[in-house]
Amino acid sequence: MDGQPTIHGENEHVARAKAAAEIVRAAAGRIENARELPSDVHQALVDAGLFRLLLPRSIGGFETDITTFAEIAMVMAKADASTAWCIGQGGGCAMSASFLEPAAADRLFGPRNAVLAWGAGVQGTAVEVQGGYKVSGNWSFASGSRNATLLGAHCRVIGADGKPRLRPDGRPADRTALLPRAKARIADVWQVVGLKGTGSDSYAVEDLFVAAEDTIDREALDEVRVPGTLFRFPTIMIYAAAFGGVMLGISRGMLDDLKALASTKTARGAASAMRDSEMFHADLGRLEARWRALRSYHFGTFRDIWNAVDAGGPLTLEHRVNARLASTHTVYEGCQIAVEGYRAAGASAVFESAPFERRMRDALSASQQVQGRPTHYATAGRHLLGLPLDTQIFV
C-alpha cells in the first residue's frame, strides 16, 4: 500500500496511535462541536493506518491482534472518546473484507481511505434477484458514517418466491450488503448527550441492487476466505474488546484530569489544598486500584483467548462467555469510576471549559450501548451454573 509506514511489530501500531492521539486531543473541542470527525482529524487517522488495523494483509491491512486493538481504543479514548468509538466500530466493520472474494475485497477496501460503517441490527430486506439482491431498509446508529466510503445494510433474506430464507437451525437468514455511502439517503439524527463526535446518523435505501459478491453473512465464519487467527473471531467479540478499551480510556482520562486538578485546587471552606487532603488521597488510591484491576482483567481475558486460538485451538463457548463478561464488567465498572472521578472534582467539573463534563457524558453514553447491558451478567451467571444460555446474539 503506497505511503503506508512499514510495520515491524505490534507495538508500532500503538506508537502510531499515540502520535495520532495528540492531534485528536488538540481537536477534541472541534470534534464535539462538529458532531463528527473533522476532515483533518480523519485524515490523520487514515495516515496512521488506524482504519486498516483489522483488514487482511492481502489488501494492505495489519491483522492486528484483539488485545492490541483494545489498547489502541483505550489510548485514543483518553484523547477523545468519539474518535476511539469510530475506530472501534470501523475496525469491526473492516473484518467484512475477510468474507469477500479477493477481487471484491480489493475493490471495496483496497483504497487507502476506505472505511465501512453500519447501523445496528437487521433492519432491512434483501430480495433475491438475478446476480444479487434488491435491498431496502432504514438503519440507525452508524458510528463514523460521515467519514465512511461504504455503508453496510443488515437484511433479512427474502427469496425470489417472496418467502423468507432460513438458516439450517430454523432462524431467519440474513446478509449484509456493502454499498457506496453515496447510494444511501442520510438523516442527521445525531443530537445526543455524549459521544457527539461519532456522527452516528441513520441511512436508508430502497430497492437498491447490490451484487451478490458485495454481500456477506457475518455469522458464517466458515465462509471466511482469509487465513489467520484474527478472522477466526466474530465481529461481536471485536466490539467487546474495543468498546471495553474505550471505557478504560475515558475513565483513565478522568482520573488523570482529577490528579491535575488536585495540584491546583483548594475547595471552598477546606482547611487544606485538595492535593494535601488525606480523604482525597484515599479516594484517589481506591479509584486507581479499581482502574488498574479492570485494565488487567479486560486485557488479560482477551489476551488469553487470543493465545488459545492462535495456538490452534477452537473458539469455544467458554471463550465467548468470558469475553462477554469481561467487556460488560469493563464498561459498567469503568463508567462507575468515571462517575466517581467526576464527583470528586466538585464544582470544577461542571464547566464546559474543563474536560470532566465531556468525559462524564461520553462515559454514560458508552455505557448505554449493547456491550454494557447489565443482563449480560445474567447470561454469564447461567453459564457458570451449567444452564443453557438465554441469548445467542451477544456471545
Nearest to 298 by CA among 381, 242, 234: 242
In the chain, residues under CATH classification 1.20.140.10 are: 233-384
State the cell numbers at 258.
482529577
Asked whether the predicted pLDDT for residue 290 surpasses 50, the reply is yes
Residue type at 197 in one-letter notation: G
pLDDT (0 to 100) of residue 5 = 38
Return the CATH superfamily for domain 233-384: Butyryl-CoA Dehydrogenase, subunit A, domain 3 (1.20.140.10)
pLDDT (0 to 100) of residue 129 = 97
Task: Answer with the residue of higher pLDDT: 270 or 244.
Answer: 244
For the segment 152-165, what is each residue's pLDDT rounded down to a tens digit? 999 999 999 999 99
Asked whether the predicted pLDDT for residue 88 surpasses 50, the reply is yes
pLDDT (0 to 100) of residue 63 = 96
pLDDT (0 to 100) of residue 270 = 59
Question: For the chain, what is the mean pLDDT?
Answer: 92
pLDDT (0 to 100) of residue 392 = 63
SS (H, E, C) 359-377: HHHHHHHHHCCHHHCCHHH
Q: Which residues of 299-337 are buried (b: 16+ CB within 10 A; e: fewer)?
A: bebbbebbeebeeeeebeeebbbbbbbbbbbbbbbbbeb
Asked whether the predicted pLDDT for residue 369 surpasses 80, the reply is yes
Q: Are 37 and 76 in contact (CB under 8 A)?
A: no
| Helix (H/G/I), strand (E/B), else coil: 386 | coil
From CA 295, how far away is CA 289, in angstroms rounded?
10
Return the CATH superfamily for domain 10-109: Acyl-CoA dehydrogenase/oxidase, N-terminal domain (1.10.540.10)
pLDDT (0 to 100) of residue 219 = 85
For the segment 296-355, what is each residue's pLDDT rounded down to a tens digit? 999 999 999 999 999 999 999 999 999 999 999 999 999 999 999 999 998 888 998 889
Average pLDDT over residues 210-238: 95
pLDDT (0 to 100) of residue 7 = 38
Strand pairing of 185-187 and 201-211? antiparallel
In the chain, residues under CATH classification 2.40.110.10 are: 116-218
pTM above 0.85, yes or no: yes
For the segment 92-107, what is each residue's pLDDT rounded down to a tens digit? 999 999 999 999 999 9
pLDDT (0 to 100) of residue 9 = 46
pLDDT (0 to 100) of residue 329 = 97
In the chain, residues under CATH classification 1.10.540.10 are: 10-109
pLDDT (0 to 100) of residue 95 = 96
pLDDT confidence tier of residue 389, bands split at 50, 70 and 90: confident
From CA 375, how far away is CA 295, in angstroms rounded?
22
Is the CATH code 2.40.110.10 the one for domain 116-218? yes
Q: Which of 49-58, 70-79, 368-377 has the lowest mean pLDDT?
A: 368-377
